[in-house]
Amino acid sequence: MSSLSKAFTSSIGRKYVMGLTGLFLITFLILHVSINALIFANDGGETFNIAANFMSHNIVVRILEIGLFAGIILHIIQAVMLTAQNNAARPEKYAYNKPQANSKWYSRSMGLLGTLILMFLVLHLYHFWWPTKVAVFSHEEHNTFHGIVAIFQELWVVVVYILGVISLGYHLLHGFQSSFQTMGWNHRKWTPVVRTIGIWFSIIVPIIFALMPISVYLGWIS
């Protein structure tokens, strides 16, 4: 195997892919949360729909969307392969282990949190991505805002979305700073800054997301 291809299949190489796709997904989240927050304008979805229509029809955004799916799939494939190797690296478990003495539960549960995010993602795509796609291909007018209002009338949906973004929050609480460390961006001056931004990002983004179904369900937005 050439040195260059080993760069992606070695332990550290796979971690680069994890870190880079993770950071890419984080930039997507920034865009996603910003656009969706337009529903808080509370103008019957006028502003939000303009943005949503632009996003579902613009060619550059369409290409980025393919990149986004590729990113998520790569992230998941690497996660599965790394996790399998990690489990194989300790065939016999400790009879008595005390991991809470030296690390955070969410740092040790990235695979579980990721799986929860993935399960949520399937429902989420079914709710919002699929109807938009159908509308684009059949050249129908699609009012995404009405879709949001309709979907968040049911309590169980609201609860599932809240659990979904909580999983995301904990995934990011570890993942945000972890991706910088993986890429080797550790610096005595900058790492504390990255960690602080990471913590606030992991709290604020999920809260904004969670407020969307909550606001619709409680009738604050209509």
User: Could you say which residues in the range 142-181 bind ligand HEM, by CB under 6 A?
Assistant: 171, 175-176, 178-179
**Interface segment toward ligand HEM; rule CB under 6 A; list 48-56, 75-83, 143-151, 204-212:** 75-83
Check binding of 193 to other proteins (CB under 8 A). no
User: For the chain, where are the alpha helices, taking DSSP H only?
Assistant: 3-9, 11-36, 46-57, 59-88, 105-108, 110-124, 130-137, 144-151, 155-182, 191-217
The distance of closest approach from Cβ of residue 101 to ligand HEM in the complex, given in angstroms and rounded to an integer, is 19
Check binding of 111 to ligand HEM (CB under 6 A). yes
- Distance (Å, rounded) from C-alpha 207 to C-alpha 6? 40
- Distance (Å, rounded) from C-alpha 37 to C-alpha 131? 20
Q: Are 82 and 15 in contact (CB under 8 A)?
A: yes
Question: Toward other proteins, which CB reaches closer, 136 or 199?
Answer: 199
Give the residues lining the site for ligand HEM (CB under 6 A).
Answer: 15, 18-19, 22-23, 25-26, 29, 75-76, 79, 83, 110-111, 114-115, 117-118, 171, 175-176, 178-179, 182
